[in-house]
A and B are shown apart, each in its own frame.
Chain A
């Protein structure tokens, strides 16, 4: 069974701290992996997309890495801000369509 797991489920950090969110997947035969952000009651905002042939992607203060062999991805957030408070979800694509398998998410709280 193809499963995606995110640990921890919740994280609270002081403003300015660098932090790492983890995502693991059981089947390494992926097409790509995406990180999303979701604010309460809202839809998902795409943060970074990593193709299976890539090792990392960067956007501003965000850096996502992918290690297919170990079935892991990390999302690094530098110099965290209260506005970064949200739930972060990783999702894996296993087939040729746009069908994603999601992790349970990490709820991040950045305290001023």
Chain B
């Protein structure tokens, strides 16, 4: 059974650009959540999608957005990139629906903003 797949694995952008990251969850998982990991702030929750609806949202500016498709694949977008957006972006999927369950993470997309 394939795990959570994130693309691209690495990317370099310049300030002001925008970026789109993709996440394919484990087959059958309908919950997809996104996290940002930086050395200074650690792991921080961005948002969660379930059945194409945003279910939870973290404390990030509106430049960070996401969506989920009918096949449960998810994308997150960051517009007007800033140097501080350089981070490892992790996607996680879960089978649990009504109550929180075990999360399975992908390898992440490492974004560098120059």
Contact surface of A with B, Cβ cutoff 8 Å: 31-32, 34, 36, 41-46, 49, 89, 91, 93, 95-105
Name B92-114 residues within 8 Å CB distance of A.
92, 94, 96, 98-108, 110
> Which residues of chain B are near A45, meaning CB under 8 Å?
105
Please measure, in the bound complex, the distance between the C-alpha atom of A102 and the C-alpha atom of B46, giving whole angstroms: 13
Chain B positions near chain A (C-beta within 8 angstroms): 4, 6, 31, 33, 35, 42-45, 48, 50, 55-56, 58, 88, 90, 92, 94, 96, 98-108, 110
Once the chains bind, are B42 and A31 in contact (CB under 8 Å)?
Answer: no
Q: Are A34's CB and B103's CB within 8 A?
A: yes
Query: With A and B bound together, what is the CA distance between A112 and B45 in angstroms?
Result: 36
Nearest chain B residue, comparing its CB with the CB of A95? B56
Question: Knowing A97-B56, A98-B33 touch, does A46 contact B45 (C-beta < 8 A)?
Answer: no
> Considering only CB atoms, which chain B residue lies closest to A30 in the complex?
B100
Q: Is the interface of B mostly helix, strand, loop or mixed?
A: strand
Tell me which residues across on chain A come within 8 A of B56, comparing CB atoms: 95, 97-99
Beyond A44-B92, A46-B103, list 17 extra A-B contacts (CB 8 Å).
Answer: A31-B100, A36-B105, A41-B110, A43-B105, A43-B107, A44-B90, A44-B105, A49-B102, A96-B99, A97-B56, A98-B31, A98-B94, A99-B45, A100-B103, A102-B42, A103-B42, A105-B42
Q: Is the CB of A104 within 8 A of B42?
A: yes
- Total A-B Cβ pairs within 8 A: 73
Tell me how far the C-beta of A104 lies from the nearest C-beta in chain B, rounded to whole angstroms.
5
A103–B48 alpha-carbon span in the complex (Å): 19
Distance to closest chain A CB from B78 (angstroms): 19
| A93: chain B residues within 8 A (beta carbon) | 100
Interface contact B42-A46, CB-CB below 8 Å: no
Residues of B within 8 A of A31 (CB): 99-100
| Complex contacts, A34 vs chain B, CB 8 Å | 102-103
- A residues within 8 A CB of B31? 97-98
A-B contact pairs, 28 of them (CB 8 A): A32-B101, A34-B102, A36-B105, A41-B110, A42-B108, A43-B6, A43-B90, A43-B105, A43-B106, A43-B108, A46-B102, A46-B105, A49-B102, A93-B100, A96-B98, A97-B48, A97-B56, A98-B31, A98-B33, A98-B100, A99-B45, A99-B48, A99-B56, A99-B100, A100-B43, A101-B45, A102-B44, A105-B42
